[in-house]
Chain A
Amino acid sequence: MLLKSVFSGFGGQGVLMMGYALAVAGMEEDKHVTYLPAYGAEVRGGTANCTVVVSDEEIASPIASSPEFVVAMNYPSMAKYQNMVKSGGIMFLNSDLITETLPRDDVKVVLVPANTLAHEMGNDRVLNMIMLGAMVRVTGIVSEESLSQAIETVLEGKKRSLVEINQKALAKGAEYIAAHN
């Protein structure tokens, strides 16, 4: 098994954290992982994206020119990656910000209203973990237990107080999938 995922959105949506958490979870399961953030001026401003590869074997290229999974948190991200997703792959769209339909029928689409769900939880910032929880529930790249545990590593140190709300957000995303798909 070698699965490549791209996470994309605009700065502040926590896109890099999504990828990082997935990579940590993969590592905790003793899988081979690479986490490759896009690097450049755009990291500090507009769009942000990262690529995560999780594999049972050594990973050759950390680059995904045709990823199995793409998570798009806004429309420009969907537009950027919609033609790259592997045929038979899945695109996860933040349906609060994306109303457009995907012009492909060989790719499965999973809609998650991440902003709305985060708002319901009383913390607008956890939309990323809601989306990640949904994505992992659908794909099973890692176990939800590992993912939840990974949050403790990701938020080590100063951000410890945020562990619980982020773990709850993961669960909320997973529950949303269970209820709607």
Chain B
Amino acid sequence: MKKVFARPESLKLTPFHYCPGCGHSIIHRLVSEVIDELGIRERTVGVPPAGCAVLAYNYFDVDMAEAPHGRAAAVATGIKRVRPDLVAFSYQGDGDIAAIGTAETIHAANRGERITAIFVNNAVYGMTGGQMAPTTISGQVTTTTPLGRAPLRDGYPLDLSEMLGIAAGSVYIERTSVSSPKWINKTKKAIRKAFMVQLEDRGFSLVEILSPCPTNWKMTPVQSIRWVEETMMTIFPPKVIKDVA
């Protein structure tokens, strides 16, 4: 029999440190597969965030550079500006990209930086232990919203992708999910397209991926993918937010 599904070349054979059922590692695999299929492994530089994916450089078998919390878009900008022949992507969680790094992200998008952002939205601060994130939905219980997020006190969940869609320099922005094989395949297509936008030198691209965090949501992995589809998707509907032809 022929092997039809195996680990992509751009993903090291290092076991993931992520919790059981975590969406990060699925997304790592998808990004790696896209890098392999586009044949860009040897000219890609990745910039992971602070947060659970801070150790992403242990998994991707491409050149990887750390960034301070929230600053991945700026670091990727620096790399890409001085070496336009490289393919630069940032890999950022919701706290990283939509709270502390909002300014860097919006301005990178608005300048039309030729970088690709992978935005993992799991509605919670994972690595620090489950605090409220900018994308925590109203009513959601976190360690810093023990009675649930109350918008009039804690603010509303932030639609960062929609905001980035308004920026003139963004070319392609799509929100997807990794809650089922169907969505995972859609996500891979979106990631591929986002990298293509960069390869075609067209501008800023971003894929927001709704991703389960069973540990901090205090759910089983199976419950967590259901929560993504039944609850998160009502607040953050998957769709193509911007696609400049």
Chains A and B share a contact (CB less than 8 Å): no
Please report B residues at the A interface, Cβ cutoff 8 Å: none
